[in-house]
Structure 1
């Protein structure tokens, strides 16, 4: 736990919450923590423990929290689920099934971590450097944004074509059969613990390969890779939660399309974000463009309301100022005028 808290990506977000330091001091603290970590630990250890911390904070903890919420407050949770009360996981009769789901998900995560470690070890011995750049030099903001955009685009491409062409191929193959037996065997309610609960081979093809291959091809800074994995893990956790109301501009649509994919037994909605589903016409339900249009209309309505309120307040202020000026500019009656009137 001490090592996890010493990770700079955790310290950077905790520092503003527990202190009143300025941004420059936070960046200095971040740089010093990262430099100390790199100089005192090996690249493989930093990578594995960092990925473990990300999965723990952004998948396991929220998944257990969502499961507790669905179990303790079912009436409230049902109003947030895409399928209503039928989408709530049952813990009374399926406790053993939940334990198996959890154990399978943890096993698949351990397997992906072992492959990650093997690739990093091979790279160190074969090329003299780890897969990802682990140096005290921090990535520049523009480089970080550019690398994130490339990594996310590569993940979207691989996720869509592997998911559609291999795991849901028209011609049967072993990976597709295993995926159907484990991920789509029963129309069980969708919840976040099922994110990695699949046969190991389809799970690696669906969750690990699209995430890891773009990073291996680009070889970004390790901090960029951490941020990339954190974004994808948080997105996948919310998408598999089964909730139709989740934060984010298009996250609600992603969650609804994921729920529709599993409810239909794997028909449509093969991509991560739905962009390639829209391009290929494989969207089931509302597509990503309709989600963005709805969000734009919501923001436009909000802006129009704010403008109307601002204009109304301005009109009231101008009217009050006019009354004040009118009252000041009116000549007062003299004593004689008052007696005559």
Structure 2
């Protein structure tokens, strides 16, 4: 665990919360740590330990923490779960141990496969699949790649989830997905994110992001950042809690709960945009989430206020010019 937390990405992400250093000192410390790591370790080692650390910190630890809460205080947990008591995890120790074993196996398999694919890529092309250099990516490059990766991942995820894992053309995969991921009707809990048959899990949780990433080949820090976003989003989406902060994220959690409660008949994407476009959305759709978010931040009122301020400035400018002209003519 010490090795995992020594990765600079966690110093960068958690540093502001754990210390009172200024932003410039944090960035300097991050750059020095990152440079030391890159110069002292092979790119494949940085890659594998990075993705493993992200899945442990942003999936496994939060999932075990929420599982402990759900099992220890079921009467309190059911009050903040979509579906109430039906969404609570089993309290049987043997069932939970079996579930945890499957999760750990799947995390190991996904990490190992990504490591093997990246190693094969390096052998063929004589360079790492992602740019692993001491030079940090520029903000514009990060923003561009993050947008591309998230959009491509969402598109692939939706169509793979709908037509491969819940379609009729790939019966073997869809049956395994139904038997494992949808074994329990009702809203899920976070640990079930990785509680699927390994093959459907690879198609759904691994390929959409990894395939998108190897096409554009961003800096590995950008890839780590996107993987962190996706892992945290999926962990929260699978939690089943009605108290997840944020209207947009709350809508994602609700749609995920409906997807599992309905045995996978709707809500195949994460964001809900493609579900809305293709008519597979059920429950509160993404447009309603956006509308609520706008109302929450009083976007209309602020826009009207800005417009009024702009018009007032224009009127004042016109008056000033007219008065100047009159004085000049006199």
Bin for the TM-score computed over the shorter chain: 0.7 to 0.9
Q: Is the 8 A contact 2:131 2:218 kept in 1?
A: yes
CA drift at 1:303: 7.2
Q: Structure 1: 5+ residue runs without aligned partners?
A: 308-341
Does the C-alpha gap of structure 1 residues 72 and 218 become closer, same or farther in structure 2, counting only changes over 3 Å? same
Taking structure 1 as the reference length, the TM-score comes to 0.85
- Which of 49-58 and 135-144 deviates more? 49-58
Partner of 2:63 in structure 1?
A: 63
Number of aligned residue pairs: give it.
303
CA drift at 1:125: 1.1
CA distance in structure 1 between the partners assigned to 2:33 and 2:291 by the alignment? 43
Q: Which has the larger radius of gyration?
A: 1
Does the C-alpha gap of structure 1 residues 18 and 205 become closer, same or farther in structure 2, counting only changes over 3 Å? closer
- Which of 49-58 and 186-195 deviates more? 186-195
Partner of 1:122 in structure 2?
A: 120
- Which of 71-80 and 148-157 deviates more? 71-80
Q: Is the 8 A contact 1:119 1:131 kept in 2?
A: no
CA distance in structure 2 between the partners assigned to 1:274 and 1:16 by the alignment? 32
Q: Is the 8 A contact 1:192 1:240 kept in 2?
A: yes
CA distance in structure 2 between the partners assigned to 1:16 and 1:90 by the alignment? 37
SS at match of 2:184: coil
CA distance in structure 2 between the partners assigned to 1:135 and 1:87 by the alignment? 45
CA drift at 1:171: 4.0
CA RMSD of aligned residues (A): 1.8
Partner of 1:256 in structure 2?
A: 254
CA drift at 1:56: 0.8
SS at match of 2:250: helix
Partner of 2:134 in structure 1?
A: 136
CA distance in structure 2 between the partners assigned to 1:65 and 1:19 by the alignment? 24
CA drift at 1:214: 0.4
Q: Is the 8 A contact 1:123 1:130 kept in 2?
A: yes
CA drift at 1:188: 5.4
Q: Is the 8 A contact 2:86 2:186 kept in 1?
A: no
CA distance in structure 1 between the partners assigned to 2:185 and 2:19 by the alignment? 48
CA distance in structure 1 between the partners assigned to 2:109 and 2:197 by the alignment? 12
Q: Is the 8 A contact 2:247 2:292 kept in 1?
A: no
Taking structure 2 as the reference length, the TM-score comes to 0.87
Does the C-alpha gap of structure 1 residues 165 and 233 become closer, same or farther in structure 2, counting only changes over 3 Å? same
Q: Structure 2: 5+ residue runs without aligned partners?
A: 306-330
Q: Is the 8 A contact 2:51 2:224 kept in 1?
A: yes
Partner of 1:17 in structure 2?
A: 17
Partner of 2:190 in structure 1?
A: 192
Q: Deviations over 1:36-73 (max 9, x none)?
A: 00001111111111111111111111111111111222
